[in-house]
Amino acid sequence: MTLIVQKYGGTSVADVGRIEHVADKVAAARRAGHDLVVVVSAMAGETDRLLGLGKGISLRPSAREMDVLLSAGEQVTIALLAIALEKRGIAACSFTGAQVRIRTDNAHTKARILAIDEDKLRDTLAHGSIPVVAGFQGVDEAGDITTLGRGGSDTTAVALAATLKADECQIYTDVEGVYTTDPRMVPEARRLERITFEEMLELASLGSKVLQIRAVEFAGKYNVPLRVLSTFKEGEGTLITYEDVTMEAAVVSGIAFNRDEAEITLIGVPDAPGAAYRILGPISDAHIVVDMIVQNVAREGRLDFTFTLHRNDYTQALDILEANLKHMGAKRVIGNDRVVKISLVGVGMRSHSGVATSMFQALSQAGISIRLVATSEIKISVVVDERHLEAGVRTLHEAFHLHEPPQQDYLPQPAAMRKGGATG
Ligand code: ADP
Ligand code: ASP
Ligand code: MG
């Protein structure tokens, strides 16, 4: 018998009608002879609503209490789905994260899973019943409820699949799989039949929220067969897999974007050892995560230093730097919290040069100027003005012919012969 872990996201359980639909799907899979464990998210919008209630009372609510609050959303949907399954004559039993002992560290609101106790799940399965497990939550050593960060139900599902050595982990959502870019932004976006873990990890970390990054990490590490599919339309979805010979031979597989960016520049920093440390030390002391860092060549003993960060941290970071201006010896600090990041991702970049050049050319033809660039082996990211986001993503999607299956190695312009990876 095959064991499948299925996860249904917020829009898939948005109301009672949809929960009944999910129950029909689960019942059909059960009747087809599969053993099943089902993970559900809170109803669409519910986690945001709860967040708003907490923040409405206090601007700085304690993370422990926020976790108690936020975990309530999933407690509602597990019970409703179990009730809907029972109504269909399918034995099911709902469990909170604590009940199946999804043990995490105590980093409230962004906890990491440490271990999962299989016994309860195995027991339930052995009785022919379907465990319906609350996504996004766990319990720490002290017995306190924790949550796994936004989108964390994906990670619950993959972690359960890894623990139970499931045959497949299926992530059911409101689109038909992983696309070349967010199909809500670019209607021509194409569903990928397969994508490598590496590419999916980059897309997730660069802003594609179709899968939580930790879920992809986990699946890659424990080799969990992972598939993204639609709750509402039949289909094969997208398989996330290790690279193999049958993979589509695209240079660029997908485009990710992130709206939550901000950029800060320190002007006229004295060029001396320790300059970057003096700037970023107080920022990391405040637990602010920095993304891209660009330091230019010094002229007349001074340089400019730019970095990007999450928009939510922008004001705090500016305040810290203003207060430290003297210590750093910088002339002034400027910033912009109306910027976004657009990234091209593809394992094919390793063996192809000219991708960056083609990207810059396409953006320049669309009249979009680039503020910052960062590259790695399989991605190129640019920071641009917020108002250019949609045009930028659409332009690149078209320039790299992502709407059609890759026929051959494709670049918009003949590139230099040098093999150069993303930067060539
Ligand atoms: P769920 O509530 O099911 O977890 P999410 O909203 O977290 O669903 O993730 C699905 C959404 O991810 C889609 O509705 C889509 O807008 C967005 N998305 C972003 N990038 C992509 C992509 N490359 N492929 C598919 N969906 C994407
Ligand atoms: N309900 C949580 C959220 O909205 C977890 C999830 O849906 O994956 O982030
Ligand atoms: Mg999600």
Residues 93-133 have pLDDT tens digits of 999 999 999 999 999 999 999 999 999 999 999 999 999 99
Question: What's the mean pLDDT in 74-89?
Answer: 98
Given a contact cutoff of 8 angstroms between Cβ atoms, the answer to whether 381 and 422 are in contact is no
Q: Is there a domain that residue 14 lies in?
A: yes
In this prediction, residue 423 carries a pLDDT of 46
Taking the CA atoms of 412, 413, 418 and 421 in sequence, report the sign of the dihedral they define: negative
In this prediction, residue 247 carries a pLDDT of 52
Given a contact cutoff of 8 angstroms between Cβ atoms, the answer to whether 56 and 26 are in contact is no
Residue 351: pLDDT band (50, 70, 90) is: confident
The verdict on 299 and 155 lying in the same domain is no
What 3 state SS string does the chain have? CCEEEEEECHHHHCCHHHHHHHHHHHHHHHHCCCEEEEEECCCCCHHHHHHHHHHHHCCCCCHHHHHHHHCHHHHHHHHHHHHHHHHCCCCEEEECCCCCCEEECCCCCCCCEEEECCHHHHHHHHCCCEEEEECCEEECCCCCEEECCCCCHHHHHHHHHHHHCCCEEEEEECCCCCECCCCCCCCCCCECCEEEHHHHHHHHHCCCCCCCHHHHHHHHHCCCCEEEEECCCCCCCEEEECCCCCCCCCCCCEEEEEEEEEEEEEEEEECCCCHHHHHHHHHHHCCCCEEEEEECCCECCEEEEEEEEEHHHHHHHHHHHHHHHHHHCCCEEEEEEEEEEEEEECHHHHHCCCHHHHHHHHHHHCCCCEEEEEEECCEEEEEEEHHHHHHHHHHHHHHCCCCCCCCCCCCCCCCCCCCCHHHC
Q: Is there a domain that residue 105 lies in?
A: yes
Given a contact cutoff of 8 angstroms between Cβ atoms, the answer to whether 251 and 199 are in contact is no
Percent of the chain with pLDDT over 70: 94
Question: What's the mean pLDDT in 21-26?
Answer: 98
Cβ(392) – ligand 1 distance below 6 Å: no
Cα(263) to centroid(ligand 2), Å: 28
Q: Is there a domain that residue 127 lies in?
A: yes
User: How many angstroms separate the Cα of 135 from the Cα of each of 42, 113, 231, 332, 405?
Assistant: 8, 12, 17, 46, 35
Average pLDDT, the chain: 93
Closest-lying ligand 2 atom to the alpha carbon of residue 153: 8
The predicted-structure confidence for 269-327, as pLDDT tens digits, reads as follows: 999 999 999 999 999 999 999 999 999 899 999 999 999 999 999 999 999 999 999 98
| Distance from C-alpha of 360 to C-alpha of 362, rounded to nearest angstrom | 6
Does pLDDT of 192 surpass 80?
yes
Give the position of tokens 């960016």.
261
| Distance from C-alpha of 257 to C-alpha of 186, rounded to nearest angstrom | 12
Does pLDDT of 418 surpass 50?
no
| Distance from C-alpha of 281 to C-alpha of 304, rounded to nearest angstrom | 17
Q: Residue 342: give its domain's CATH number.
A: 3.30.2130.10
In this prediction, residue 352 carries a pLDDT of 86
Cα(135) to centroid(ligand 3), Å: 10
Ligand 2 pocket test, candidate residues 136, 137, 173, most atoms within 8 A of CB: 136
Look at residues 157, 174, 191 and tell me which one is the last residue of a structural domain.
174
The verdict on 33 and 166 lying in the same domain is yes
Range with the lowest mean pLDDT among 146-160, 233-247, 264-278? Answer: 233-247
Say which ligand is closest to the CA of 152. 2
Q: Is there a domain that residue 206 lies in?
A: no
**The two three-digit tokens of residue 422, written as one number:** 């993303």
Q: Is there a domain that residue 375 lies in?
A: yes
Question: What's the mean pLDDT in 200-225?
Answer: 96
| Distance from C-alpha of 309 to C-alpha of 79, rounded to nearest angstrom | 39
Residue 406: pLDDT band (50, 70, 90) is: confident
Q: Residue 92: give its domain's CATH number.
A: 3.40.1160.10
The verdict on 8 and 149 lying in the same domain is yes
Q: Is there a domain that residue 16 lies in?
A: yes
Q: What are phi and psi of 417, to 5 degrees?
A: -75, -20
Taking the CA atoms of 361, 363, 369 and 371 in sequence, report the sign of the dihedral they define: negative
In this prediction, residue 250 carries a pLDDT of 79
Q: Is there a domain that residue 354 lies in?
A: yes
Q: What are phi and psi of 337, to 5 degrees?
A: -110, 25
Look at residues 137, 153, 174 and tell me which one is the last residue of a structural domain.
174
b (16+ CB within 10 A) / e for 22-33: bbebbbebbeee
The verdict on 163 and 33 lying in the same domain is yes
- Structural domains counted in the chain: 2
Cα(212) to centroid(ligand 2), Å: 10
Residue 249: pLDDT band (50, 70, 90) is: low
In this prediction, residue 244 carries a pLDDT of 63
| Distance from C-alpha of 37 to C-alpha of 27, rounded to nearest angstrom | 12
The verdict on 273 and 365 lying in the same domain is yes
Say which ligand is closest to the CA of 204. 1
Look at residues 151, 174, 197 and tell me which one is the last residue of a structural domain.
174
Question: What's the mean pLDDT in 343-356?
Answer: 91
The verdict on 403 and 300 lying in the same domain is yes
Closest-lying ligand 2 atom to the alpha carbon of residue 74: 1
Closest-lying ligand 2 atom to the alpha carbon of residue 48: 4
Which residues lie with the beta carbon below 6 Å from any ligand 2 atom?
A: 9-10, 41-42, 47, 73, 135-136, 150-154
**Structural domain harbouring 306:** 246-424
What residues have CB less than 8 Å from 139, skipping those under 6 apart? Answer: 97, 98, 101, 102, 103, 104, 145, 146
Cα(393) to centroid(ligand 3), Å: 21
Cα(151) to centroid(ligand 2), Å: 4
Ligand 2 pocket test, candidate residues 47, 146, 173, most atoms within 8 A of CB: 47
Q: Is there a domain that residue 194 lies in?
A: no
Closest-lying ligand 1 atom to the alpha carbon of residue 174: 14
Closest-lying ligand 1 atom to the alpha carbon of residue 12: 3
Residue 252: pLDDT band (50, 70, 90) is: very high
Does pLDDT of 421 surpass 60?
no
Does pLDDT of 412 surpass 90?
no
Ligand 1 pocket test, candidate residues 13, 150, 210, most atoms within 8 A of CB: 210
Cα(9) to centroid(ligand 1), Å: 10
Give the position of tokens 């907490």.
54
